[in-house]
Amino acid sequence: MSNCFIDQIASQDILLRVTNVCGECYSDIKVGDQIYYDMQGYRYLCKTCHQELCDRMNQECEIIHEDEGLFG
Res. 62 pLDDT band, cuts 50 70 90: confident
Helix or strand run (H / E) with residue 52: helix 47-55
What pLDDT does residue 1 have? 47
9 vs 56: CA distance, rounded Å: 24
Question: How confident is the model over 10-41, as pLDDT tens digits?
Answer: 999 999 999 999 999 999 999 999 999 999 89
